[in-house]
Amino acid sequence: MKLAIGDVVRACDDKALGTVAGVVGRGREKLVMIHGYGGMRRFTEPGGLELVARHTAPMTMGRQAVALIALGLALLAAYIGCHSARDLGASWLLSFLAGFGGYGAVMTAYQWWFRLTGPRRFRV
């Protein structure tokens, strides 16, 4: 299981909700520190946790700009692919698929960039 600080988890034994505060461990034994309601702090084994929600930070202005640029490039690639296929005499279905492929290629590259530069997860 991969956890990030701030993820909401539920302990399987007593169904207590809390947020991940850190990972502590020596060698193969790892414990997850959970902050719960009312100031509750406890250490739990990762096998006894159930992930409820992932913590996501709000997008910064830079990431929003990159998302808009990626969307614009994807639409441009779709137009170029569709128009080029149509000029070569392709049917409407093949033109649509060429445009969809161009859009998909750019958006896949953006999603991989976002995943590589996104929040770090800890394997526990």
Q: What is the mean pLDDT of residues 66-88?
A: 96
CATH code of the domain covering residue 16: 2.30.30.30
104 lies in some domain:
yes
Same domain, 31 and 66: no
What is the percent of the chain where pLDDT is above 70? 95
Domain identity same for 14 and 40? yes
The total number of structural domains in the chain stands at: 2
When mean pLDDT is compared across 12-16, 41-45, 93-97, the lowest value belongs to 12-16
Strand partners, 17: 10
Range of the domain at 77: 61-118
Asked whether residue 84 carries a pLDDT value surpassing 90, the answer given is: yes
pTM score of the predicted model: 0.63
User: Do 68 and 110 belong together in one domain?
Assistant: yes
DSSP 118: S
**Domain identity same for 46 and 74:** no
In this structure, is residue 86 part of a structural domain? yes
In a domain, residue 6? The reply is: yes
Residue 124 lies in a domain: no
* Residue pLDDT, tens place only, 15-35: 889 999 888 887 778 888 899
Cα dihedral 72, 77, 83, 89, rounded to 10, equals -160
Span 77-93, average pLDDT: 96
Tell me if 99 is assigned to some domain: yes
Strand ranges across the sheet with 29-36: 41-44, 29-36, 17-26, 8-11, 49-53
- 76 pLDDT band (50/70/90 cuts)? very high
Q: In this structure, what token pair is assigned to residue 31? A: 């414990």
Q: 44: pLDDT confidence band, cut at 50, 70 and 90?
A: confident
